[in-house]
Amino acid sequence: MRGEESEWMSDWKVGVRLWMERSGEAILGPGRMELLEAIDRCHSISAAARDLRMSYRRAWLLVDSINRAAGEELVHRQRGGRDNGAGLTARAHAAIAAYRALQTRVQRSIAPPPRAPRPLDSSIVHVAAASSLEHLLHNLLADFAVHQPDTSVRTICGASDELANQIVNGLGVDLFLSAADGLLDWLENAGTLAPEGRTPLAANRLAAITSTPDFITLRGPRALLQAPARRLALADPSCPLGQYTRAYLEPLGLWCAIRQRALFLDNPHGVVAAVESRQADVGLVYHSDARAASHCRTLFATRPARPVIRYTAALTRRGEQSAAARGLLAFLTSTLARRRLRCFGFHVPCPTRS
């Protein structure tokens, strides 16, 4: 019997109807409260009635009943016509405030106790990754799913600086794959990263790409100033790729001249898209992105140490508590993962941990 009762009572709720009265006559209740608040909002009984889809006669009778039960006017009206203005007295505002406060107390007293927060799903790993790792990461996670089918991985990819800013502001991730170590220093100082939670993943370099079939082969960065390269696509210096590009061109004395001919984009994908659509003749991107750009060919690539471009995986404070996150991090440094990295144009092993 108890099982049957719980079944048909499963959708029941506890409710309390509250009203205020004087000498046994009701002054305020839910419907009367709505009417008074509508009169206060509309400054007219007839307008309030229309707002509540109530007849004017019904509204007028309720107002009259409220005033009589209260023993004084809570709604004052200007005589001379049904559409003349109306408003609430100071006593009416005090009564409304008291009613609302009492209503809140009653609702809190009958509300069920709050449920305990659901624990984080330990089988889900949240990863934030530099956009230049996106294609590689999808392949790595497919490999990881074969080895760890019970672990789900959810990813967000974007510019490393934007992701770092979101993490500082509360983005819930377990693992951050960054294209710039300086951002990890910032996160560590902010107390977001796990102590000793950094692991080197890979190194990269820059490459010049074009999609123009008859474009001549450029033999180095100085050739970017030649006539065929009229329009250059570069990453904005605010993102890691843009910073690496500037760090490469400035020591060669080329930055100021090249930036005058540059179309600046937000991220590596934007640079590749500008070149593929021929909005730019040449673009400077990561070598791994050049390998993935099927409609472009590489004109030249920099040496790995000019400038030093490395990717680092960092466990967050949240990820430090997750065995699944630590397992994914271990996989990303496995022999299989290193083989994937090389296939996508990255260099491993990467520089030693700083």
- The lowest-confidence range among 28-37, 94-103, 159-168, 191-200 is 94-103
pLDDT over threshold 80, residue 74: yes
Tell me the domain boundaries of the chain. 17-108, 124-204+309-343, 206-301
Q: For residue 26, what are the β-bridge partners?
A: 21
- At 128 the pLDDT is 93
Same fold across 124-204+309-343 and 206-301 = yes
| CATH number of the structural domain 17-108 | 1.10.10.10
Confidence of residue 85 (pLDDT cuts 50, 70, 90): confident
What is the identity of the amino acid at 323?
A
**Which of left, alpha, beta for 121 (phi over 0: left; psi -120 to 50: alpha)?**
beta
Q: Are strands 86-88 and 152-158 parallel, antiparallel or unpaired?
A: unpaired
- Residue 318, pLDDT > 80, answer yes
* 33 and 99 Cβ atoms separated by less than 8 Å: yes
* Choice between 236 and 101, residue whose per-residue pLDDT is larger: 236
Whether 350 has a pLDDT exceeding 60, the answer reads no
Asked if residue 67 has pLDDT above 70, the reply is yes
Contact between residue 317 and residue 274 where contact means Cβ atoms under 8 Å apart: no
Residue with the larger pLDDT of the pair 274 and 121: 274
Q: Supply the mean pLDDT for the chain.
A: 83
In angstroms, the first-to-last Cα distance of the chain is 69
* Bridge partners (DSSP) listed for residue 178: 312
The third-level CATH classification (topology) of the domain covering 124-204+309-343 is D-Maltodextrin-Binding Protein; domain 2 (3.40.190)
- pLDDT at site 116: 43
Q: Which whole number is the average pLDDT over 322-348? A: 90
Inform me whether the pLDDT recorded for 84 exceeds 80: no
Best mean pLDDT range from 20-24, 73-77, 285-289: 285-289
pLDDT given at position 110: 61
Q: What is the pLDDT of residue 306?
A: 76
> Residue 14 above 70 pLDDT?
no
pTM equals: 0.59
Residue-wise pLDDT for 134-145, tens only, equals 888 989 999 999
Out of 69-73, 109-113, 175-179, which region has the weakest mean confidence (pLDDT)?
A: 109-113
Q: What is the pLDDT of residues 43-60, one digit of tens each?
A: 888 888 888 888 888 888
Alpha helix locations (H) across 174-254? 181-189, 240-249
pLDDT 10s digits, 280-302: 889 999 988 888 888 888 888 88
Percent residues over pLDDT 90 in the chain: 18
Given this model, what pLDDT does residue 115 score? 45
pLDDT of residue 190: 85
Could you read off the pLDDT of 222-267 as tens digits, one per residue? 888 877 778 889 988 888 888 899 999 999 999 999 888 888 988 8
CATH class name, domain 206-301 = alpha beta
**Residue pLDDT, tens place only, 116-159:** 444 455 688 999 998 888 888 989 999 999 988 889 999 998 88
Cα separation, 131 vs 338, whole angstroms:
19
